[in-house]
Amino acid sequence: MVKVRPHKGDRLRRPLNVVAAAVLIVMTAPIMLVIALLVRLTSRGPVIYKQKRVGLDRRVDRAGSKLNPKRNQDMGGRIFTMYKFRTMYHQEEGAEKQVWATENDPRVTPVGRFLRAFRLDEFPQLFNVLLGDMNIVGPRPEQPEIFQDIREELGNYERRQQVLPGITGLAQVSLSYDSDLEDVRKKVELDLQYLRKRSASEDLRIMLKTMPVMVGRKGSR
């Protein structure tokens, strides 16, 4: 594991993300209520979709040393439950295989397609920020099985787990949907670039860039 040096702005990043999340929850509460009604009325299944994702790797200290080398299984980070508005047709528990969603995925409902286009399905992750699972800004968390596959292909992939994952990030405001491993590689490089220059001001800059991405339907999830 490569050492990630503490940044002088690290102590300000978490409070900034929490305050921003709380303000956004208040501001978007009416929108989230409308979205919840649309999801409920247009397709069968729960309004909120819960999915396991790989989060912060607390087993690694700032010097890169493993804190608990005897752990039976290395998942790459702490597994947490991420919340989203459901955008796909409902499947029974356990019937869904962990695969990447594609831009024109047939599993996506008509309402879900609209929500995905403008990233409105991500709003419930603001509560993940308050719970301490995520920040607003950080590398996007991946599903455990997909994480393991990518880690085998890209040796530097797990370095992303040295900070809390985010709802948005430098890679998301810079690049579009993944179509192959090379696209993932480019996003990882941007994630690592973010790790090197992370600060409260950088988080704020990315937050401000996220709104034009949402409205212009650019970038990726």
- 9-49 pLDDT, tens digit each: 678 899 999 999 999 999 999 999 999 999 999 999 999 99
Q: Could you give phi then psi for residue 180, rounded to 5 degrees?
A: -160, 180
Domains contained in the chain, number: 1
CA distance 161 to 60: 9
- 123-148 pLDDT, tens digit each: 999 999 999 999 999 999 999 999 99
39 versus 6: which is more confidently predicted?
39
Residue 62: its pLDDT value, please? 45
Residue 2 in domain: no
Instruction: Provide, rounded to the nearest whole percent, the portion of the chain with pLDDT above 90.
Output: 65
Residue 116 in domain: yes
Residue 207 in domain: yes
**Rounded to two decimals, what is the model's pTM?**
0.84
Classify residue 56 by burial, with Cβ atoms within 10 Å: 0-12, 13-18, 19+.
buried
Residue 53 in domain: yes
> What is the extent of the structural domain holding 201?
10-215
Token pair listed for 42:
């247009």
| Banded model confidence at residue 181, pLDDT cuts 50, 70, 90 | confident
Residue 23: its pLDDT value, please? 97
Q: Could you give phi then psi for residue 61, rounded to 5 degrees?
A: -85, 180
